[in-house]
């Protein structure tokens, strides 16, 4: 039997309730069939990828996702789907497709071991970094994406190291936001990485040469909201003072977002902050002089 014969042709053309019935019944049964998956995993993955741009309704998407969850219990299918996902051009898919691909990659990652499949794990998390940044800009999508990443990291905490590595190594505010949001809910798990992430914030946000995009500023808000007085005084404040002298226009935009996100009583540090802002208000550039007034 060829792959074409093995996959019900109606799965490519069915609409509405018939499509949902097909996936919940026929495709779900095939996803449990070890012999079928060993022989036809490539065809099933091809069909699933085909559905991405066409299945717009939530019921159809859930039906396909349920089949993915069942089929990944088979090692051949798991490897085939993982290989197909990392080969996709993540930047070329729509925002809706991004969310479904985020769900699919999360399912695959639940079944991979970071120690023995490190390369595959990192490549899948890198794909997620693209999806998350695409989704972060929409409030509704942002909440849904966090449900996916929070549940994945809670169920498989040994993935957190890979997530932190990718968050630091890629220009993905969505991935950084997902990591830090999870950390705000699980402080003990993020604790080993917090100081390193704080240094990354100081270097890439406070130290940016141009004003950071709103998504990048937003990405670090969960971290800033959890800062201790000691972290602010010993790490963040010295960095802010240093960078505001080097690149005042960019640093002031970052400092405004910083003060808005902080949950600290800054009365003990107000003299240091005020002194620097007064100096900036005497700056030669009008944009630099007026920015402290709205910070």
Residue 186 has pLDDT above 80, yes or no: yes
Would you say 205 and 254 are in contact if contact means Cβ atoms under 8 Å apart? yes
236-258 pLDDT, tens digit each? 989 988 888 888 888 888 988 99
- Cα atoms in the Cβ-side hemisphere of radius 13 Å centred on 222: 21
| Whether residue 54 has pLDDT greater than 70 | yes
Mean pLDDT, residues 149-167 taken together: 97
CB 195 within 8 A of CB 224: no
Residue labelled with tokens 């996916």: 148
CB 74 within 8 A of CB 68: no
- The C-alpha atoms of residue 104 and residue 140 are separated, in whole angstroms, by 19
∠ CA 40-83-94, nearest 5°, is 100
pLDDT at 266: 75
pLDDT score of 138 = 86
User: Which tokens hold the place of 176?
Assistant: 């950084």
- The backbone region for 16, taken as left when phi is positive above 0, alpha when psi lies in -120 to 50, beta otherwise, is left
pLDDT digits (tens, 9 = 90+) for 81-99: 999 999 998 878 998 899 9
Contacts of residue 274, defined as CB under 8 A and 6 or more positions apart, other chains included, come to none
Tracing tokens 């991979």 back to the chain, one arrives at: 112
CA dihedral 142, 144, 149, 155 (to 10 degrees): 150
Please state, in angstroms and rounded to a whole number, the distance separating the CA atoms of residues 2 and 27: 17
Confidence at 2, pLDDT banded by 50, 70, 90:
very low
- pTM of the full structure: 0.88
pLDDT at 17 over 80: yes
- Write down the residue that tokens 């505001």 correspond to: 244
Crossing angle of helices 139-155 and 160-169, in 10° steps, is 140
User: With the C-alpha atoms ordered 265, 267, 268, 272, is the resulting torsion angle positive or negative?
Assistant: positive
Task: Look at residue 275 in the predicted model and tell me its pLDDT.
Answer: 66
């Amino acid at each position: 039997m060829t792959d074409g014969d093995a996959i019900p042709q109606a799965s490519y053309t069915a609409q509405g309730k018939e499509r949902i019935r097909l996936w919940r019944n026929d495709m779900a049964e095939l996803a449990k069939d070890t012999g079928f998956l060993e022989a036809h995993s490539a065809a099933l993955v091809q069909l699933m990828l085909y559905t991405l741009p066409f299945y717009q309704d939530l019921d159809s998407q859930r039906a396909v996702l349920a089949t993915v969850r069942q089929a990944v219990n088979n090692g051949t299918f798991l490897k085939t789907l993982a290989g197909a996902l990392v080969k996709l051009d993540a930047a070329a898919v729509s925002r809706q497709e991004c969310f479904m691909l985020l769900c699919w990659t999360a399912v695959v990652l639940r079944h991979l071991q970071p120690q023995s499949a490190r390369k595959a794990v990192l490549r899948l998390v890198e794909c997620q970094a693209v999806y998350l940044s695409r989704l972060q800009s929409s409030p509704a999508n942002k909440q849904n994406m966090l449900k996916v990443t929070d549940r994945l990291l809670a169920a498989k905490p040994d993935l957190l190291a890979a997530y932190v590595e990718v968050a630091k190594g890629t220009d993905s505010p969505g991935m950084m936001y997902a990591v830090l949001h999870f950390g705000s809910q699980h402080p003990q798990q993020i604790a080993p990485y917090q100081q390193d992430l704080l240094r990354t914030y100081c270097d890439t946000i406070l130290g940016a040469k141009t004003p950071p995009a709103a998504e990048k500023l937003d990405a670090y808000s969960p971290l800033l909201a959890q800062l201790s007085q000691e972290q602010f005084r010993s790490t963040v404040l010295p960095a802010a003072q240093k960078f505001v002298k080097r690149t005042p226009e960019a640093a002031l935009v970052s400092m405004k977002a910083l003060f808005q996100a902080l949950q600290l009583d800054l009365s003990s540090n107000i003299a240091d902050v005020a002194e620097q802002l007064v100096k900036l208000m005497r700056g030669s550039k009008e944009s630099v002089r007026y920015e402290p007034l709205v910070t």
